[in-house]
Amino acid sequence: MRQVILDTETTGLDPADGHRIVEIGCVEVVNRKLTGNRLHLYLNPDRDSDPEALEVHGLTTEFLSGHPRFEDVYQQFVDFVRGAEVIIHNAAFDCKFLNAELDRVGLPPVGDLCEKITDSLAYARELHPGRRNSLDALCERYGISNAHRTLHGALLDSELLADVWLAMTRGQDALLMDFQDDEQANATGGAVKVKVDTSQLRVITASDAELAEHQAYLELLDKAVKGECVWRAYEPAEAAVAE
């Protein structure tokens, strides 16, 4: 599977207010491995960045004025994302800007150009509910160094996000899937054999302290509803006996 990890930097928060993209960074992942293939574009937005945005990315109007406009290089972007799963952190924000730029050159939204769009922020929130899931927070959580990141940059952030994404989804690797190549699949009429080494699957159980904290929380819920909370119905029988 071909994936493209993408990030942008912009002049402000909303293209409806005339804000534009100033930088696009993409890195390619194939079969869960970084290929080294990347796309990095600085873009002349024909306007100044808002002070808050400039503080984030540090790309001055003077610097950007020496670079091409999106309409001059859009085909590079289209060719790079075409047919790939595009992974973006907070995808709604970047897609809003990308779609505005694509519309200016008469092209359909980015979702129509690629295979699909995956929001890594939404995925992280499902995986870590109630916790901070910014790119910096995820780098810290997964032990990915971002010490060299003093300013936001689209290419640097896409590289960090690629490492984070592979770390967040590494459970897929634990299955050690060994697929036949296309030639073998064709020889067997399209059937694909899969090897699964279940000895590599990690099972993480709650500690005694975590179980005690869970029970204390259930007791608070019981008090709140003046009876037994709904969760009690889903407790294993042995847990109910232990109480």
- The answer to whether residue 152 is catalytic is yes
CB 162 within 8 Å of CB 141: no
Q: Catalytic residue among 19, 89, 152, 214, which?
A: 152
Helices (H), 85-205: 91-104, 110-113, 120-127, 135-141, 154-168, 171-174, 182-187
CB 26 within 8 A of CB 9: no
Distances from the Cα of 218 to the Cαs of 126, 130, 210, 237, in angstroms?
22, 18, 12, 16
User: What is the token pair recorded at 220?
Assistant: 């608070």
Residue 8, SS3 per DSSP: strand
Q: Distance (Å, rounded) from C-alpha 57 to C-alpha 73?
A: 21
Active site amino acids? 152
